[in-house]
């Protein structure tokens, strides 16, 4: 993909994320009413609508600039904990995409995003936050590409599966970061809203990437046939072994 095509793909991804977040607004709000203050759906919708508007007004064919603009919009429009976490981490990681979007740059972006988010939020796996979806997703994405030699599309598919298990893992645990932690043991049995929005965004990126990359990426027939399972979830945080 050349620069202009990549920029178009990024724009499409942002529009798709905005639409999907709008669709899931009340679901995210319901999750946040159980263990928070019922604003996660509104926060995410406001942030992504602003992001979509911002990139519409931005004449750039640089994926890094477009992604940075999304982060800036989230930072300035979302008041809750999730705004600075999502927005600040996207802004900080966007520089990794300066050379365009490749397997290598997307791994670097994912790692930088996770690092920044944990630096800001101080949450680890098991605290019942978006980190519980993000850590397994980022580790799985990196391992799928760098160790298993998968293409980015397959790797993203694996990352989405890992994030899904991470979201399920948030249900039975007690929150120790963010607003939900005020509930103590009463937070047990509820799914974390931020982990859920992280999964929703990853699912949307996967569907846009599938539209853009399917057929373009050469699938290694040998790698396809061989059982990928061996040590497949190794990169995941141990805690995320919990499957439903």
Q: Which does 235 bind (CB under 5 to 8 A by kind): ligand ADP, Mg ion, none?
A: none
Taking the least distance from each CB to ligand ADP, the nearer of 96 and 192 is 192
- Locus of tokens 């061989």: 226
* Residue ranges binding ligand ADP (CB under 6 A): 32, 36-37, 39-40, 43, 80-82, 85, 121-123, 129-131, 177-179, 192-195
Least Å distance, CB 139 to ligand ADP, is: 17
Least Å distance, CB 167 to ligand ADP, is: 10
Total number of residues that touch Mg ion (CB under 5 A)? 6
Q: Which does 119 bind (CB under 5 to 8 A by kind): Mg ion, ligand ADP, none?
A: none
- Rule CB under 5 A: say whether 37 interacts with Mg ion: yes
CA 78 to CA 231: how far, in whole Å?
39
Residue among 110, 134, 106 at smallest CA distance from 198: 134
- Locus of tokens 């098991």: 126
Q: What tokens does 125 get?
A: 């796996």
Stretch of 2-10, 16-24, 77-85, 121-129 lying at the interface with Mg ion (CB under 5 A) = 77-85
Q: Which DSSP symbol is given to 219? A: P
Least Å distance, CB 51 to ligand ADP, is: 15
Taking the least distance from each CB to Mg ion, the nearer of 44 and 125 is 44
Interior CA angle at 46 toward 56 and 208, to 5°?
55
Stretch of 6-14, 33-41, 66-74, 181-189 lying at the interface with Mg ion (CB under 5 A) = 33-41
Q: Which residues contact 55 (CB under 8 A, 6 or more apart)?
A: 11, 14, 66, 69, 70
Residue pair 188/172 in contact (Cβ under 8 Å)? The answer is yes
């Amino acid at each position: 993909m050349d620069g202009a095509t990549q920029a178009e793909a990024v724009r499409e991804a942002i529009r798709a994320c905005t639409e999907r977040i709008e669709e899931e607004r009340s679901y995210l709000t319901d999750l946040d009413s159980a263990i928070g203050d019922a604003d996660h759906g509104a926060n995410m919708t406001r942030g992504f609508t602003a992001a979509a508007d911002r990139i519409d007004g931005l004449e750039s064919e640089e994926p890094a600039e477009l992604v940075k603009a999304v982060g800036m919009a989230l930072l300035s429009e979302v008041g809750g904990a999730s705004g600075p976490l999502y927005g600040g981490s996207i802004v900080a990681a966007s520089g990794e995409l300066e050379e365009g979007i490749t397997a290598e740059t997307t791994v670097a972006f994912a790692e930088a995003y996770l690092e920044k988010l944990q630096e800001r939020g101080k949450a680890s796996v098991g605290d019942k936050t978006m980190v519980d979806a993000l850590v397994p997703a980022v580790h799985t994405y990196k391992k799928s590409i760098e160790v298993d030699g998968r293409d980015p599309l397959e790797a993203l598919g694996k990352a989405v599966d890992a994030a899904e298990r991470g979201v399920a893992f948030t249900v039975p645990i007690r929150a120790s970061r963010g607003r939900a932690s005020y509930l103590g043991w009463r937070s047990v049995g509820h799914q974390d809203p931020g982990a859920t929005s992280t999964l929703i965004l990853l699912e949307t990126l996967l569907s846009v990437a599938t539209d853009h990359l399917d057929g373009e990426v050469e699938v290694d027939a040998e790698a396809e046939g061989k059982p990928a399972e061996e040590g497949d979830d190794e990169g995941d945080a141990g805690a995320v072994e919990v499957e439903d």
